Amino acid sequence: MRKAELYIELENQKIKCNLCNHYCILADGETGKCSVRRNIDGTLFTLSYGKASGLAIDPIEKKPFYHFYPKSRVLSFGTPGCNFTCKNCQNFHLSQVVKDLGDSALEIQDTPIETIVKFAKKAKVDAVAYTYSEPTIFFEYAKDVITAFKQDNEAKNMKHIFISNGFMSQEAINDILENNLLDAINIDLKFINNALYKKITDGSLRPVLKSIKAFFESKVHVELINLIIPGLNDDSSSIRKLIDNVLGISDEIPIHFSRFYPAYKLKKESMTSEEVMISAYELAKSEGIKYPYLGNIHVPNTQNTYCPKCNNLLITRSNNNFSESLIVRNKCIYCGHKLYLKQQ
């Protein structure tokens, strides 16, 4: 447990948490919607500090990032808790465990920051991914980990990436950007319908779109993921509306359309059809998205990167594994077009 950041004190020992767009107002003893931030005697504390879980090494393509240092390796971890209650969550055993079991879910051994730094250096990874659960809710821990890396001569050049629901507050965005904490973020744009956001996640749409725009206009690399769920957002109208909203920010942002598999509280739903997935990919491409991709499904060529100017094949991938690249200094070797991509 550690004193939290990004909150203000109110009257009668109440506090307002400014970490995400729930902006929870908590009386003494109350816990936020994330289940891991609590008002204790008028001071906000983060309960999940140091509770790292799932330490693993992955290819960056698995996150998924296709345009941020392809073929690099990342150290991934998360902590219990989440500010969303997604009925389809694949990682519910981590994200929802505190809501289900209470504080006992946090009775796990702390992972010191120096352990994470040492692990990353020994494994010789290129980046650290804050993932599995929403990284915003363990913001202080992530921030201290990032700071420790930047202060270590051997690890200071490692990159730091969030896989996020994008529901962080403007205050959190400002802190991230002002302190240069992140190099890249993958934001899960779940729905383009606010009622569905509320029903399935207990969040809302507008703050997510605002986050995408804010990070894209900064120096932080942005990619998006959209899980297509039958009966919720798999109709062509919803997919087209999502594409239009992304185009309103930029046609450069890569979109990963992901196939839904039954999970958690949506176990009775069917998986997304191949036809719908292919239709989403083709619609995005025809509407002007330069870098659409399909995930959780094997459809030939839909994980490859093509030059948006001359349409030549530039990066070949299979099952999220990088195969080869025909890009030099972020430019197509055929026509010289500069891609929205960062490479080593």
Query: Strands 321-325, 313-318: parallel, antiparallel or unpaired by DSSP?
Result: antiparallel
Q: Are 88 and 265 in contact (CB under 8 A)?
A: yes
- Looking at residue 106, its pLDDT comes to 94
Average pLDDT over residues 231-258: 98
Task: Tell me which fold the domain 53-302 belongs to.
Answer: TIM Barrel (3.20.20)
d(CA 215, CA 135): 15
Q: What are phi and psi of 115, to 5 degrees?
A: -65, -40
Q: Are 203 and 83 in contact (CB under 8 A)?
A: yes
- Looking at residue 340, its pLDDT comes to 97
3-class secondary-structure state, position 268: coil
Query: Strands 127-130, 53-59: parallel, antiparallel or unpaired by DSSP?
Result: unpaired
- Please write the tens of the pLDDT for every residue from 7-25: 999 999 999 999 999 999 9
pTM: 0.96
Average pLDDT over residues 280-304: 96
Which amino acid makes up residue 304? N
d(CA 107, CA 161): 27
pLDDT of residue 204 exceeding 80, the answer is yes
d(CA 198, CA 207): 12
311 exposure class (CB count in 10 Å sphere: 0-12, 13-18, 19+): exposed
d(CA 287, CA 247): 9
> Which tokens sit at 185?
């973020």
- Looking at residue 170, its pLDDT comes to 98
Average pLDDT over residues 151-172: 97
Give CA 231 to chain center in angstroms. Answer: 24
Average pLDDT over residues 93-122: 95
Average pLDDT over residues 49-74: 95
CB neighbours of 137 closer than 8 A, spacing ≥ 6? 19, 20, 34, 36, 37, 48, 79, 81, 82, 83
pLDDT of residue 142 exceeding 80, the answer is yes
- Please write the tens of the pLDDT for every residue from 306-330: 999 999 999 999 877 776 778 888 9
Average pLDDT along the chain: 96
Higher pLDDT, 324 or 211: 211
Average pLDDT over residues 88-101: 93
CB neighbours of 100 closer than 8 A, spacing ≥ 6? none
- Please write the tens of the pLDDT for every residue from 63-93: 999 999 999 999 999 999 999 999 999 999 9
Element containing residue 298 per DSSP (H, E): none
d(CA 242, CA 245): 5
Average pLDDT over residues 219-230: 97
Residue 338 DSSP one-character state: B
Cα four-point dihedral sign 330, 332, 338, 341: negative
- Looking at residue 267, its pLDDT comes to 92
Give the CA angle between residues 78, 83, 87 to the nearest 5°. Answer: 95
DSSP-assigned beta bridge partners for residue 203? none
Average pLDDT over residues 199-207: 97
Radius of gyration of the chain (CA): 20
> Which tokens sit at 325?
């690249």
- Looking at residue 343, its pLDDT comes to 87
Q: Where exactly are the structural domains of the chain? A: 2-46, 53-302
> Which tokens sit at 264?
């958690």
> Does a cis peptide bond (omega within 30 degrees of 0) precede residue 254?
no
137 exposure class (CB count in 10 Å sphere: 0-12, 13-18, 19+): buried
d(CA 29, CA 237): 45
